[in-house]
Each structure stands twice: as C-alpha cells, then as structure tokens.
Structure 1
Amino acid sequence: MRKVFVSLLAAVVMIVTITGCFDKNGNQERALVDNESDKPVSNNADQVVWFSDVSSWTPPSPWSTDPQTVEGAITEKTGLTFDFNIPTQDGATKLSLMLVSNEEMPDVMTITNEVLAKKLIQAGKVWGMEQFLQAYDPDSHLLQDFPEDLKQVISERDGGWYALPSHISTNDMRNLYPPSSQYYSDSLLYRRNFGIMINQSILDKLGLKLEEISTEDGLLQAYQQIKDRNLTVDGAPVIPLQVDGKTYQETTLVTLQDMFGVMPVDKNGVYRDRLLAPETRHALHFLYRSAHEGYFGVGQFTMETTAVKSELMTGRVFSFIGNTANTGLKDMDFWVSPGPILSNEGASPVMGISKEAPPGWMQTYISKTTQHPEKLAKWLSYMSSPEGMMLHNFGFEGKHYTKNEHDLVVLTEEGKQAQAGFAASGVSAFWPFANVSWHDSVFQAPMEMTGADGLVVLAVQSAFGKSKHTVTYENAPFRLPADYIQSGSKLSEDQEQINRYKESQITKIVMAKSDQAFSSLYDEMIVKLRNLGIKAIDAKINEKVQEQMDKLSIDVRGVNS
C-alpha cells in the first residue's frame, strides 16, 4: 500500500500521525488523497449540497471548517464543505419531483428508495462509480479494493455500479479486514434486531429462571403471575408485555412468526405470503390471547417508537417483543433473552440468513451536474479510506480514543460522549460511509455490559440465532427487485389494496372479543386476501424466487407446514 504523503502543516502532520501510517497488521496503509488534497484548503473550500431521504439522519449542520472538528478535518483533506438537505418527511417524493421537473439535482444524493435510484440512473442523472473515479481520481483505493461480491449485488440491482453503499459487511471486505475478536464473529453469525427481551429484575421477583419462560405456555404463565401478584416497580404496576407500538405488525408480529415457524415458502418450496402460512394464525392468536387477558393494552398499537423506548426505560416492563434496536437496550443492563419462544404446536423457530453480500442500507450517488467532480471523487475515496473512517467514526486519537496493545481502538469517555452526541460532534455521524467489516476489524471488543456494542446488546440480539432450536434458511432468493411488480399494474394495485386491508384486519383479529370472534375474523381475512388477488401476486413472486433459487443453486423448503 503506497505511503501517506507528508503534510506541509504541523496540524495535518499530527492528524496523519494520530491515524497512523500502518494498519493493525503492520502493513503500510494506502493514502487515499493526493498531494493537492494534503494541503490546507479550508480557506478556499467549495460548498456542495448533500441530499438524503433518511429523515432520522442528523449530521452536523451548519458545517464547521474548524480543523479541530471532524467536519473541519474533512474539509482540510478534501476542500469541501456541505450544505445538507434532509427533509423531515417524504424525502424520496421531493427528490422525485425535482427529477420530473428537470431541476438541477443535488451534488450528492444518499437515498434508500431503490425505485427512485433506478429512475435517477435511467435518466442519466448520476455517475457510474467506476467511470467517475477513473476520470477524477484514478488512484482511488475504491478502484482496487471495493469488494467484488458487493459490486456484483448492487450491479445486478441497479444495472451497474453507481452507488457507494453504507454498512458494508461482506466476505470480500472481511478478507481485507478480518474481525478483531470472537465477539464480532458471533455478531456477524447470529446477531439480529428482532427478538424478545426479558427484564431480569422482574424475572427474579417472580422466582423464575430464563429457561422456564422459553416456551409459549411458560411465558404466558409468567404474564399471569404478574397480574395475580399485582407486581409493581417503584409503585407502578408491571407491564407483562410491551409490543412495538405503531410498527407492531412489521416487527412484533414478524418476530412471533419467526418464533412459531413461518417461512416464505411451503413444504414444496413454493413461495407463499407469510400471512397465509398456518403458523401465522398461531402467532396472531398469541397476540390475541395476550391482549384478551390484559397482558398488554391495545393502546400500545398507537405508540410512537420514542414512547415505547421511554416505557422500557422505566424498568417496569417485563417483556418486549419486536425490534430491539429501537428500545434503548444499549443503555440498560437488566435485559436478557431466552432466544425464541417455542410454540405449543411444536413448530421449529426459523431464521433467514444470507450468504450473499447484503447491498447496504444508504446508497450514495454523485450528480453528473456537480461543479466539483474532482473534489467529490477524492472525498469519496478519503471518507471510505482507513484514515478517513478512523476520523469520522472515532474522532481524534488521544482525545476521543486511544489504542491498546493490539493496536485496537478504545474509546475514551469523551469519545463515548461525542458518539452519543454525534449531531454536534460529528463523531460517528457519517452513516453513509459506515463500514461494518472495517469497524469490527479495528475496534476492541466491548468489555462493558452497556453501550452501543455492549455485552448486553450482543447477548440479547444473538440469543435467537444461537438457540439449538432455531432452523436457519437461505433468504437470498427472496430479495426481489424494488420494481419487480411494476407500479401502476393491476398486480401492484391489488397489492396496495391488500396492504391496506390486512393492516386494519390484523388489528381487529388481535382485539377480538372471544375465541369464536378471533376464528371468524381470521377466516374472513384469508378469504378476503384470496378474493383481492393474493394468489396471483404470490404466483408472480414465485416465478422470480424459483429463478433466483436456480441461479444460486439453493433449494429452500418449509420445515414446518
């Protein structure tokens, strides 16, 4: 790897020294900026517009050019400052309107909407990444070490390599940056956000062990004990079950479907909407029974994510089922997980995994109309380089982090605070350049219970995958192109109608007044879904699923129904 160029300024020399000229294996790191970008440029920096449709992303704004800040250090290296355009809602719609009205596009576009991305590409509004880098930064490391497995996946999706994805985690990237510890190896293999969390403190009050509530009957009996004993925490009644608020159908129900063995194919390997799987009826009945017995209030169905998190932070919730990543789990040390809750019907819990490279979350594109292509090319190279990632992930060495005897990053208290306040500090604020494989290679495995990568988080989020009862299956064949069912087609219109219907009907089923009413409403849903055309949609999707199974030499069949 070619040597880092020596800076003319002492401040930049210090930054280069801090980030290091050698990787953790003792090899010289490749510099990802040229002689010109090593010179001070903040005095004549150019401003570009950075758009994103991710409303929850809050990078530092306005941009600081102070070299003692993360943003200022980026400006020193790249000659750019950024004006962020991140709508609070409907970002994809607003960018789409700019496209159809032929307005000048933002210089940088970080988006998650695959359909919109294809429209930008087809309209010729964004650069092909290889062409762009060859023209404006031919020495870029991205032309040499961007993972081929990831390039193949996004090229198949977009018709070419047009984007730099976030949250990169692929086999090719791990070959370049192997995990620093077993912690990160386990995280890679087993960790998933959806699952169940149990409050250990309340479990102790009940006099129960974790394995005693790892079955459906055991968990429901624990809920009933809480009611019968009128358990309280700080004078407030214990809530037996907290569902995932307004998103419960996409998270809580999906988690229960996995626990109770729902797969996207039947026993013959034919695609089937998960709602039609017989095990889904059992998952819905669990929610119905829990609501009917008063283990949770149906008012939870209207709660925002922040309200759910606040409830969990009180310590009076016994169990939570849904997306654990949105719960504040990292800040609490009393959560544990039994893994999957085993169904009374004896179905095996299932978990979809993929050996294929995930395409990432946020996709960053460069506009062909930008007035600063050379600086943006070098910016892409710098932000994705070891030096750049060390800066925007961890801040400044000696201040925000140190390195241990194995040359692994250890955050200081100031560094932890800076990451928590990333919108002001810039430390870990640049999500579009998140590289999971690199992070897990340079960061020390956590020693503490709490924190974003604390021991509690991994224990809870890997319990499902580590369970001896869990059956894994390859889910790559079920990853469909975003526009596979074309917008405006009859199938698309039927699909929209089905989505609206099932959202309201599922809540009616869960809130049923009796077992008889539950069965009647469930049967009504199945008939209505078929009348609305779900079988035709499934048949269309099955064509693509079978094609992708053949292409990947994968045969997935239902292990339960």
Structure 2
Amino acid sequence: MKKVVVGVVLLLYLSLLTGCMEDKHSDDSDVTGDPGYTQLTLFSDVEFWRPPAWDVTEGTITGDISRNTGVTVDVTVPARDADRQLSLMLINNDLPDIISITDPTVLGQLVTSGKVWDLGEFFQKYKPDSQFYKNFPEDVKKELVKRDGGWYAIPSHMESRDSYKIWKPSSQYYWDLINYEDPYTIIWNKELLGQIGMHPDELKTEEQILSAFEKIKNTGTGADGSPVIPLLIDGDAYQESTLSFLETTYGGEYVDEDGNYKDIMLQPETRDALYFINKAVRAGYMDPGQLTMDNDQIHNLMVSGRVLCFIGNTANTGADSRLWVSSGPIRKTEEKRPVHGKNMRASTGWIGTFISKDCEHPEETADWIDYMTSDGGMMLWGFGYEGIHYTRDDEGLVSWTEEGDAATREYSKTGVWAWWMFANTAWQRSVMAPLEEGTIARAQAELTTAYAKDKDTVTFDSSLLSGLTESLPPNSDYLKMEGDIRGWKKNQIPMILLAADDEAFDKEYETFIRRMEELGIYELDAQKNMKYKENCAEYGRTITKVN
C-alpha cells in the first residue's frame, strides 16, 4: 500500500482519465452506407470482442439488421480498464443507450444505481407486443430477479429447463453438449503431435505433458518451418480461463473440509496450477509475453500451425477444430480427481445487457433488441445467409457450410455470430441439425466435452456459487475487500508465474497469500459463505469436497 493517500488518489484519477482517453470504437464507429437510420450506442467490457464495423450497404448482415430495425449501432469496446471506465460513466450520468457487461461488481453498481430499466417496465411501455418480452423463460427471469432484485439484465447464452421447453434440442447429441460442454480445456495440434510420435492417451499427467513440450522444443518445426511454440495460454485472459482450467483439473475446489465456501486461490491446487505455468516459462516452453497478448494475437498464433498445445478458452481461438484434439484432464497425482462445475439451474448468462434510462431512442432500442433476439434476427446474425453460410435439411434444421464455418471465425469481418450478448444457446440447439462427422462444429464439440466426460472427472453444481459477489452489501467494506483482492490477484499472479527459480516462486506465492489475508479474504469468504449456504438450503444441494 502507498503511504501517501493523496498520491494514491491522484494516481487513480490519472489512470482512469488515461483509460477514458484510450477508449476506442470497434473498427471505428463510422457507419458505411446510407446514414438515414437512428444510431444507438452500446458499451461492452468484453475486451477481446471485436464486433464488425457497422455497414448498411446491400448484402451485409449489419445492413440487413438496419433495414429490419431502422437502427445502426455505435459500439465501444475499451482496450483496457473497461469496468473502471463504465463506473466513471455511471458517476458522471453519461451512460450509453445499451450496456453489455460481465463484471459482477459493476453489474451490481448498475442495478443499485437506479439508472437502468426494469425490462418488464421498459417493454410494457415501449413495445408491449415484443416476442422477447412474451417468450422469456420464467426460470431464467426468476434467477435474474433473485440476483439483482429485479429483471434488469438480458442474459447471453441462455440455458434452463424452461428455455429447453420453449426451444427443444433437435437431437440427443445436443443433450450431451448440455451436460458436458466447457470451452475451458486443453487441446493439441494433431500434426505436431505426430511429429513427436505421441497420442492424446499418452498426455494424461503433468509429467507426460512436460515431456511432450520438451520433445517438440528440441525437434519440432511449424508448418512454415519456423520454431514450434510448445505451450500457448490464453493471453491476457489467462487468469479467467487457463488458470481456471488448471485449478480444477488438479482438483481445486470452492469449499473447505467443513463444507464452507473457500476462495479457490487459497487451495493448494492453485499453487500447483501456478507452478505448472512457471515451470513452462522457465523451461522456455512459452514466452512470458503471452501473459499480455490480446485475442487477435492468440488467434494469429493458433492458425499459424506453430502451436503444439493450447490451454484456455477454445471458443475464442479462431482455429479449425478439426486440426486439434483434447487429452481431457491433466492429473498431477492419482489421489486427486479433476472436478467440473456444471450449472444445474437456470443460467443467468455470461454477458448481461442493460438499457439506460437516459436512452435517447427507447422505441428504436426496443425494436432492435426484439429483432436481435427473434428467430429471424438470430438466424441472420447467428447463421448468415442460407445457401452461403448454411443449408437446411428436410426437417428444416440448419447445418453450417464450409464458408459459414469460416465466417464465424472471421466474425469481426463477416458479422456472422458476432453479437454475443444476444446468443441463445437453447434456441441454437433447437434449430441445428446433429453435427456431422468431419465438420468444424462437431470437432469443436468433441474438444469441449472431453474433460467433463472423462471417467475420473467429478461434476459439482456450480450454480450454488452464483450471486456470491452480488450479495455483498452495497457501499460496504466487503465490496472494497472484493475490489482490492481482485486487483491484487491480477497484479501479483504474473510475478509468481515469472519467478526465476523455485526459491523466488515460493517467495512470491507466500507474498500473494499473505497479502490476501491482510486484505481480508477470510472475512470476505465468511460473508460469501452466508450466500452459498442460502443457495444450498434453497436448492437442497451442496458441493461435497472430494480431494
């Protein structure tokens, strides 16, 4: 902690100001084509999202959205510090029309501010015949109201019992995805594995994986003859994806021996996960610069043919899944079993989308959201154009074409599957044909289910952990603890990963734990445990510690 309070305040102010000055619009905010549309503003804190530039010319997805809604959208995705910038907008009463966010603390600030619409009130006033309003799954709404105190958020990637009653999965294949899919996993380049004569079944332990890295480092070459990258992690998103996967594959859990909530960072398995990455850095299996790479850089490396192994969010790599294979869980010891969190109740989504009460064009905003969440809208922006990006079978079910598969990977250019905040997983699985062998979508599904389907993996109900941060009292010491501890994790974990030797690693890790204790992590965990126990009592389930 700094000793001079004035210095801290000044530094914070300057960092916030600098962040605001560095805000950038997605692919620039200029609208190409006829300007005779109402322009809405949208802010997102998903820093690796790259929405397409809005183009209203004939034959573009954004153009057809505009023709169906009378709207264009000016999107802002800050390069960094998006959540702090949104907090400043909130303080300054300068919110955009639409806000799509993932950060639970800022989400709580929006909800308690009184500056965003209750969606029931909004649609009753501005579009009472809205299909979105009339068809919204009741169990999802119930969970959102429980979390936020009202129905304020449009959740992305909806999944629930009620949603699957409205949009029934088209085959048993999708029920398997519902039960096992998780994009955070480990995948291997098939061709490069062949170079070192290894098979995924030989990559089940940490020792075997490090051995593969060593072999490819000494002998492997990429598709263009350049050196192979043995390990690629998920760039500047690694703490949310790469580290999360490693923690749980090593058996890290969110409860202690007495069944009380415990931050997974305090579990010994997190130390194991950090040490794995540290060993990879020290051995030259990965470059330290990976810790700060953005998603575009990760994408470019993944399609280069130079990466042997990737650990992180496979949904955002842009790679052709047919060229990759997953080895499932990594076992550090036989005694500890990998664990997998599965939301077993209605999901409140990944991205929450809110409508500002200062929205200048509420009717047009209602029209746009209603269209983007409708069958026709989701078919357009989600699948593109029939005969080009997808085909239909005799039952009307959709299958991607090769061009469609490619278009989703280049969504920032094509607009296909670009509007993640309106993704509806249940709807998508109701309109798609069973994925055929040899398709990218089928290969992606195999990559993302290998971990949870493994015979040794133990599944727990991750929904029991929902709402823990949101339940912290507004303007309380607990919220300050949450922010301080989160900032400390973000800043100190790189120091641990880049430690020069075992002694330095132990020192940085001990500093990490000690400082979290000083910041009040045990008091914070005790407060979150109250919400966790409430969840357990309400749903009649608990998380049983298995390791």
TM range (shorter): 0.7 to 0.9
CA distance in 1, matches of 2:488, 2:352: 32
Matches within 5 A, 1:30-179: 47-54=38-45, 56-59=48-51, 61-62=53-54, 64=56, 66=58, 69-78=60-69, 80-89=70-79, 90-102=81-93, 106-179=96-169
Does the Cα contact within 8 Å between 2:465 and 2:532 map onto a contact in 1?
yes
Question: Residue 443 of structure 2 aligns with which residue?
Answer: 456
1:333 matched to 2:325: no
Deviation sequence 1:20-43 (CA, Å, 0-9, x none): xxxxxxxxxxxxxxxxxxxxxx99
Query: 1:529 Cα shift?
Result: 3.3
- SS of alignment partner, residue 322 of structure 1: strand
**Unpaired runs of at least 5, structure 2:** 1-32
| Counterpart Cα distance in 2 of 1:217 and 1:266 | 28
Partner Cα separation in structure 2 for residue 82 and residue 158 of structure 1: 29
**1:551 equivalenced with 2:538 (yes/no):** yes
Q: Is the 8 A contact 1:392 1:427 kept in 2?
A: yes
Does residue 251 (structure 1) correspond to residue 241 (structure 2)? The answer is yes
Inter-CA distance 232–490: structure 2 relative to 1 (3 Å threshold): same
- After superposition, what is the alpha-carbon deviation per residue over 1:509-558, rounded to whole angstroms, capped at 9, x for unaligned? 44444445544544454344334432222222222212221122112121
What is the deviation of 1:340? 0.3
Seen in structure 2, the aligned counterparts of structure 1 residues 82 and 181 have a Cα distance that, compared at 3 Å, is: same
Q: What is the CA-CA distance between 1:443 and the residue it aligns to?
A: 1.8
Distance 1:101 1:237 in 2: 50
Q: Name the larger-Rg structure.
A: 1
Q: Which 4+ residue blocks in structure 1 deviate beyond 6 angstroms?
A: 42-45
The SS at the match of 1:301 is: helix
Contact 1:129 1:162 in 2 (8 A): yes
* 1:442 equivalent in structure 2: 431
Q: Counterpart of 1:382?
A: 371
- Tell me the residue number matched to 1:29: none
Match of 1:476 among 463, 470, 484: 463
Instruction: Describe how 1:229-378 pairs up with structure 2 within 5 A.
Output: 229-233=218-222, 234-329=224-319, 331=320, 333-344=322-333, 346-370=335-359, 372-378=361-367
Does structure 1 residue 225 correspond to structure 2 residue 234?
Answer: no
Q: Give the partner amino acid of 2:456.
A: H
CA contact (8 A) 1:63 1:83 kept: no
| Deviations 1:296-323 (CA, angstroms, capped at 9, x unpaired) | 3434334333333333333233222222
Tell me the alpha carbon deviations over residues 356-406 of structure 1, each in whole angstroms, 9 at most, x when there is no partner: 211123333334455654454444333322233223323444454432112
2:524 aligned partner, one-letter code: I
Counterpart code for 1:211: D
What CA deviation, in whole Å up to 9, does each residue of 1:22-76 have, x standing for no partner?
xxxxxxxxxxxxxxxxxxxx9997614232224555555445275x544454444
The answer for unaligned runs of 5 or more in structure 1 is 1-41
Length-normalised TM-score, structure 1: 0.81
Cα distance between partner residues in 2 of 1:116 and 1:508: 27
Task: State the shift of 1:169 in Å.
Answer: 2.0
RMSD across aligned positions (CA): 3.2
Matched with 1:433 is: 422
* CA distance in structure 2 between the partners assigned to 1:146 and 1:260 by the alignment: 38
Contact 1:394 1:428 in 2 (8 A): yes
* Alpha-carbon distance in 2 for matches of 1:193, 1:289: 24
**Structure 1 CA distance for aligned equivalents of residues 401 and 309 of structure 2:** 33
Matched, 1:186 2:176: yes
TM-score computed with the length of structure 2 as normaliser = 0.82
Identical-pair percentage: 38
1:128-154 deviation line (CA, Å, top 9, x unaligned): 222333334333333432101110111
| Distance in 2, Cα, partners of 1:343 & 1:235 | 33
**Larger CA deviation: 150-159 vs 440-449:** 440-449
Pairs aligned (count): 512
Per the alignment, in what secondary structure is the counterpart of residue 281 of structure 2? Answer: helix
Q: Residues 180 and 445 of structure 1 are in contact (CA less than 8 Å); yes or no, is this contact kept in structure 2?
A: yes
- Contact persistence 2:40–2:361 (CA under 8 A): no
TM-aligned CA deviation for residue 118 of structure 1: 4.6
Q: How many angstroms does 1:468 deviate by?
A: 0.5
Query: For the residues of structure 2 that align with 1:163 and 1:376, how far apart are their CA atoms?
Result: 14
Q: State the alpha-carbon separation in 2 of the partners of residues 296 and 387 from structure 1.
A: 44
Name the CA distance, whole Å, in 1 between partners of 2:170 and 2:57.
34
State the distance in 1 between where 2:488 and 2:93 align. Answer: 36
Residue deviations 1:183-219, cap 9 Å, x none? 4222222111211112222222322322122122222
Distance 1:151 1:209, change over 3 A: same
Q: Which amino acid aligns with 2:91?
A: V
**Pairwise CA distance, 1:260:** 0.8
For 1:280 and 1:62, the matched residues in 2 are separated by: 42
Q: What corresponds to 1:7 in structure 2?
A: none
Distance 1:120 1:491, change over 3 A: closer
1:155/1:161 contact within 8 Å kept: yes
**2:322 counterpart SS class:** coil
Provide the secondary structure at the position in 2 that maps to 1:236.
coil
Deviations along 1:443-480, one digit per CA (max 9) or x if unpaired, are 223336454xx222111111101100100111112123
The range that moved more, 173-182 or 484-493, is 484-493
